[in-house]
Structure 1
């Protein structure tokens, strides 16, 4: 047969009935735990077995069967076929696959433990499933995503990292792969919708993605992200057992940048949402590209007319331009209905540019906005609003509405948030009645805004992340979790942990975090140094949690409007040798990571190491070296010490190493695949004199190829004999 088995062929196979399997539920297991690399009694040989799928199953299931074939080839060097043989792998969805439904009808496959569940899979070996087939390893899903997650669980078990493409992780080569006898499942996810937000994507991702995948397809907006880019995002999201995405928003519009974007999401089985500032399935950039706001004087009279495509004034103001804004929102919901993609609709309204509303924060106005949005949903879908999944995100100032008593309709999921620094601001109140729509969580591994951006490297401490997620789940927050992951690449470890925890919090109690880090190390770098790598990961998270790299700068104050640098005040006290001790801790961690890197096999494993761990450790340790030398240099210069000049040399050498590490990432790793990715400024935040009034929190708007004395206040030198 061909790579896919036809429905007619399966239905006509004349399956003979056999005794029904036990109706017990499949045994919940850790990812891939039913895979063995040595033969045992009754095990199923995966190498050489064709992977067969019903072509009439969900497109995402047909596609993932192809990924499973490719993953088996990555590990074994042998690519499975797609036709029937004596032993086969059958992949399919209950109710959508004639392969699976035929086995169930014939009594050969018991799916009672998963049927009707949300995103649940079963892995089991079936004897004599089809004429001419002795055995089949069956991956069956309760729904299409259940099947997809089940297939990717097999990929994980045979050693393919979820980050195989994003971080060039090669699997360990295996000659044999066996599936253990039994019934296995990863269970049903604890959090229903689980995903991430691609955000703050300039300059790194915004530089790299259009160059690698080609420019955006919206006329005049070449920086847009295409369907080919998002296909890679969707794949890793599904490999991590996530199902939900907020797409990039910095000058980007998901629906316009490539007309294929929404269709591609549907093909993969991804649920699309929009961020807290983008209501009604519209990205705010869709408004900004086509609207010019009217200019008004102090009395509110229009001085300069504006316009938008809906006949309004172009103003992002519900009070002043409600009719046009409602039409804009209506078009967003209509697009979701017309294109048939699975979406979660954001309610409410925030100011343009991630700010509070220009119309004030009156409760009555927000009630009016939400009521109008719900009416639009009902009119466009021709169904009660409660039948369309909706969220209201209490981000920043929006939480004030809730605190002052405003409640969304009960079917709306209320998304609570952290404080932008990884500490959840509010949990569901046990004293309040339960909500049909439940609660969600918006959490940050990347942030742009006051008091300071952090977007260069991963700075999450898993112990703190665990504590926050554990508390949220314990309070009943279980409907929708989304993490801001910035460029995604660079935040792989916390992203994977976030989605693992959302799937099954009971798998990962506090005492097992070290085990999680060892598993992460084994999956990406092999078992040989997993313990030492896990130790480095834990130490790295602890050190980064003390102070994010963007906070390493001298203390700056304004005196009579003039910038004053206090050369004796740094983020660390010079007393008690704090600066020296912290720098030495980073220096030692850098040495440990370097030793690990040298012991790893050459080629792809070392590239993956540099991308996932090595760069972040080495570059952060070097940044501490740079700042320690710089800060001490400035202090010594003021004191006239002779050692000033050697410290100036050390600071400038460290800056050169910073450039060299970024250049290695951009030019040497994976054959230059990531050219332009390490372009995020991370030195000299807070310099109001150089970078303007937003410099207290905004990144320096400089490339890392600028002159050293542009990137940080020039070190100082003293003449011979002055010390």
Structure 2
């Protein structure tokens, strides 16, 4: 029995009078409700309870007392010190507090029923007189179906009272409150839409690792238990449950310090590893034999011993085991020479890895041990060729590293999803003529016969070709929604992992991704435009929220056209060339930059002092940084375009401007590192971070360029941009707008995203159509020159995993003709497409044309806009 004095909850809320019985007062000027939980509950419950007490202290200025009660504790009137109001926290079936409330009927059976047998579900409710005869008159009860469900419930309450999930990672200080009353009534949250939801810390060489090694955790030489504790807390606040830890050679391997795995278990975080790290192994640090020996064909026993060691040490924890094998780092498997040999090797590797799991986790059938196989890069090709993945293993499909998912689960019916053969004339697209290949869905396992389910590995940060993007986060939430909503609708709902780089500055996009994973219904096409206003109001208050939201919307549209890391229009090892910005596009970009600068200038003095650090990190720095990088590029390009024809004074002025902008960028970054939050983030933010490849990809140093001849001229403006006049529904699908994407801020997608492909000979009758009116004076504008209709679409991938995107086009009511675009996955056309976030199909257009109908054949296609050009 604990001493009663230890349970005294000082400064308690007075007993609520009848007028306040409609709600539960968590804190008021009189004090705060005490926090009680059972000491037999999971460790994460105590962690969350401690954090809740600290959060209430941040808001109210007074931290409430909290206590862990033993199972034998009995609430009796003689037990002094208990407040009339208390927060009772516990896990159903594990907490004597919660179980007592259930047994007594104080927690109604109807309220508890949604928790029983559920994954990560929780209840928040108010209970009167929870323990009759005790001094507790009212209790706010947070009950979880399992350990994470309970923790999520506690952190949900923290958000309700005004504590941001980013209070530590982005220094979002809460606004003070003197009182908070929670409305009465039972609220059930969960189960989640996606079972395993998490992040991958990656490419940490230039941000998180030097920050941890030099600023936050030097005692461990970099990212270690102290950093991971903060990561785990963040994941719980975001209702995430899975982590792939940092894995570059510069960082300490996660399991090099046994405290890290134990800490993950304390926080109830499921540990996994990336596509290149089977069986929880960090190859670049932990494989100490010669690299050539990491070869399953030649050194099976050595590789198996290596995997066995890790499973033996970590089997007692909750993990998702990555199966398969690639190279030591992000490279192909060593040993097998042909795809057939690689497939055979992988299938043997699956069997051997599962035997290790069965040996070290004997109390659980191997079919019930969480396992995943990530079909990343070259491995996806092996899967498409017939690689057999064990039925209970979750298959993760990747995006193309730039936010566009390469493959989706096939339909539930075997053979479904194969595209019917088309026989109409094919109009050539912007790449090679199409091939009549068999759809990849013919080789894929249908959903109904793969109980392990499917998942997605997604990127909002990436180091690799054609160009990296590690500096700022510029993937629009609308793109995340478009791709992940499509994935979920097609059955990818078991595991979602997002590559977040260093976590910062990807805070908002990380949260949006994880919000979707928790509740796929929260964000829909119709309410996407509410994300930024709600985010801004939560982080900075309602007064400035509309203008902050406008800035963020403009920032993502501005950088979707071209990321600040991608401000060059040539691929590595190609000759430099001008941007694709026509004069009006250039002026539009300059005007958008100016508008954002003006909005920022007006906002800075409206942000409360305690929110200034967060504002700089989440809004000011990324927006200013992208504007300066854009202006720097345009100054250099203008000098290059003038070439020999420019006068020396103008060229020198442009060169000087580039130098000034470089200095301003460096100053902004120095402030982020050394001044914001008292230097808390020193060494985290780097301008243009990456390895040697980065320097070969960035714009030239800021001097007047020396050219023998001027560069080619800037592209001309479009002759016309046809007006979208309407949309006609199809037999079972329709075109609908999605705001927040595309050059004009709106794209059109086919709904439902699971709509079957339509044979092009039925396009006129069954396919939905976008209707465009062409200018009446088009013939005059043509001025006798040939015209082309440019159909601009997002660089998505075919839902069936095939190599083409398809539309049908009708001009002036003529029968629709099939248009195809070869995806060229990994090739130069694809590379230019993902850097520009658009692909283009060109069709000759008669100058006498007056209307265009764009028919949706494949639900993969997302239409940006159409233009008429010479």
TM-score by length of 2: 0.70
8 Å Cα contact 1:3-1:81 kept in structure 2 = no
8 Å Cα contact 2:202-2:248 kept in structure 1 = yes
Mapped to 2, the partners of 1:399 and 1:92 lie a distance apart of 43
**1:333 correspondence with 2:311:** yes
The Cα shift of 1:77 comes to: 0.7
Aligned to 1:351: 327
User: Residue 5 and residue 244 in structure 1: after superposition, are their counterparts in 2 closer, same or farther (change >3 A)?
Assistant: farther
**1:49 correspondence with 2:24:** no
Aligned to 2:758: none
**Equivalent residue of 1:320, what SS?**
coil
Cα deviation, 1:663-684, whole Å, max 9, x if unaligned, reads 11011100111111122426xx
User: Residue 557 and residue 90 in structure 1: after superposition, are their counterparts in 2 closer, same or farther (change >3 A)?
Assistant: closer
User: Residue 450 and residue 504 in structure 1: after superposition, are their counterparts in 2 closer, same or farther (change >3 A)?
Assistant: same
Counterpart of 2:50 (choices 56, 63, 66) is: 66
Aligned to 2:266: 267
User: Residue 374 and residue 715 in structure 1: after superposition, are their counterparts in 2 closer, same or farther (change >3 A)?
Assistant: same
Counterpart of 2:486 (choices 462, 465, 471) is: 471
The Cα shift of 1:53 comes to: 1.2
8 Å Cα contact 1:4-1:52 kept in structure 2 = no
The Cα shift of 1:187 comes to: 2.2
Counterpart of 1:636 (choices 630, 642, 645) is: 642
Mapped to 1, the partners of 2:346 and 2:6 lie a distance apart of 53
Mapped to 2, the partners of 1:249 and 1:623 lie a distance apart of 30
Aligned to 2:679: 672
Structure 2 gaps, min length 5: 9-18, 68-81, 414-445, 707-870
Aligned to 2:171: 168
**1:525 correspondence with 2:566:** no
Cα deviation, 1:269-288, whole Å, max 9, x if unaligned, reads 10000100000111113434
**Equivalent residue of 2:124, what SS?**
strand
Alignment of 1:511-660 (within 5 A): 511-553=526-568, 555=570, 566=576, 569-573=577-581, 575-602=582-609, 604-641=610-647, 642-660=649-667
User: Residue 231 and residue 3 in structure 1: after superposition, are their counterparts in 2 closer, same or farther (change >3 A)?
Assistant: farther
Bigger mean CA offset, 628-637 vs 487-496: 628-637
The Cα shift of 1:649 comes to: 1.6
Aligned to 1:716: 704
Aligned to 1:454: 469
Aligned to 1:124: 125
**1:191 correspondence with 2:194:** yes
User: Residue 90 and residue 180 in structure 1: after superposition, are their counterparts in 2 closer, same or farther (change >3 A)?
Assistant: same
Mapped to 2, the partners of 1:271 and 1:202 lie a distance apart of 24
Cα deviation, 1:627-673, whole Å, max 9, x if unaligned, reads 11122123334213231121122111111100110011011100111
The Cα shift of 1:73 comes to: 0.8
Counterpart of 2:300 (choices 315, 322, 341) is: 322
The Cα shift of 1:41 comes to: 5.3
**Equivalent residue of 1:449, what SS?**
coil
Mapped to 2, the partners of 1:584 and 1:161 lie a distance apart of 33
8 Å Cα contact 1:633-1:715 kept in structure 2 = no
8 Å Cα contact 2:284-2:329 kept in structure 1 = no
**Equivalent residue of 2:623, what SS?**
helix
Cα deviation, 1:11-41, whole Å, max 9, x if unaligned, reads xxxxxxxxxxxxxxxxxxxxxxxxxxxx965
Say what the alpha-carbon RMSD is for the aligned residues. Answer: 2.4
**1:426 correspondence with 2:381:** no
**Equivalent residue of 1:342, what SS?**
coil
The Cα shift of 1:550 comes to: 1.4
The Cα shift of 1:598 comes to: 2.4
Aligned to 1:285: 284
Question: Quick check: which one's strand share is greater?
Answer: 2
**How many residues get paired?**
632
User: Residue 190 and residue 434 in structure 1: after superposition, are their counterparts in 2 closer, same or farther (change >3 A)?
Assistant: farther
**1:375 correspondence with 2:373:** no
Mapped to 1, the partners of 2:26 and 2:241 lie a distance apart of 27
The Cα shift of 1:535 comes to: 1.8
The Cα shift of 1:341 comes to: 1.2
Alignment of 1:70-89 (within 5 A): 70-82=54-66, 84-89=82-87
8 Å Cα contact 1:572-1:579 kept in structure 2 = no
Aligned to 2:501: 486
Alignment of 1:396-415 (within 5 A): 396-415=377-396
Mapped to 2, the partners of 1:333 and 1:6 lie a distance apart of 42
User: Residue 571 and residue 640 in structure 1: after superposition, are their counterparts in 2 closer, same or farther (change >3 A)?
Assistant: closer
Mapped to 1, the partners of 2:664 and 2:227 lie a distance apart of 31
**1:207 correspondence with 2:207:** no
The Cα shift of 1:65 comes to: 0.3
Mapped to 2, the partners of 1:5 and 1:417 lie a distance apart of 56
Cα deviation, 1:264-319, whole Å, max 9, x if unaligned, reads 0000010000100000111113434x22335xxxxxxxxxxxxxxxxxxxx21111
8 Å Cα contact 1:637-1:716 kept in structure 2 = no
**Equivalent residue of 1:351, what SS?**
coil
Alignment of 1:302-313 (within 5 A): none
8 Å Cα contact 1:555-1:565 kept in structure 2 = yes
Cα deviation, 1:381-435, whole Å, max 9, x if unaligned, reads 2253212110000111111121011121111001111111111111110132332
8 Å Cα contact 1:490-1:612 kept in structure 2 = yes
Aligned to 2:153: 150
Mapped to 1, the partners of 2:164 and 2:645 lie a distance apart of 54
Aligned to 2:722: none
**Equivalent residue of 2:685, what SS?**
coil
Mapped to 1, the partners of 2:545 and 2:681 lie a distance apart of 26
User: Residue 648 and residue 554 in structure 1: after superposition, are their counterparts in 2 closer, same or farther (change >3 A)?
Assistant: farther
Mapped to 2, the partners of 1:549 and 1:453 lie a distance apart of 10
Cα deviation, 1:506-534, whole Å, max 9, x if unaligned, reads 12101211212222111111111112212
Cα deviation, 1:478-515, whole Å, max 9, x if unaligned, reads 10100000000100111000110011111210121121
Q: Please tell me whether Structure 1 or Structure 2 has the larger radius of gyration of its CA atoms.
A: 2
**1:91 correspondence with 2:89:** yes
8 Å Cα contact 1:253-1:285 kept in structure 2 = no
8 Å Cα contact 2:408-2:492 kept in structure 1 = yes
8 Å Cα contact 1:594-1:614 kept in structure 2 = no
**Equivalent residue of 1:506, what SS?**
coil
User: Residue 620 and residue 2 in structure 1: after superposition, are their counterparts in 2 closer, same or farther (change >3 A)?
Assistant: farther
The Cα shift of 1:128 comes to: 0.6
8 Å Cα contact 2:555-2:623 kept in structure 1 = yes
Aligned to 1:688: none
Aligned to 2:729: none
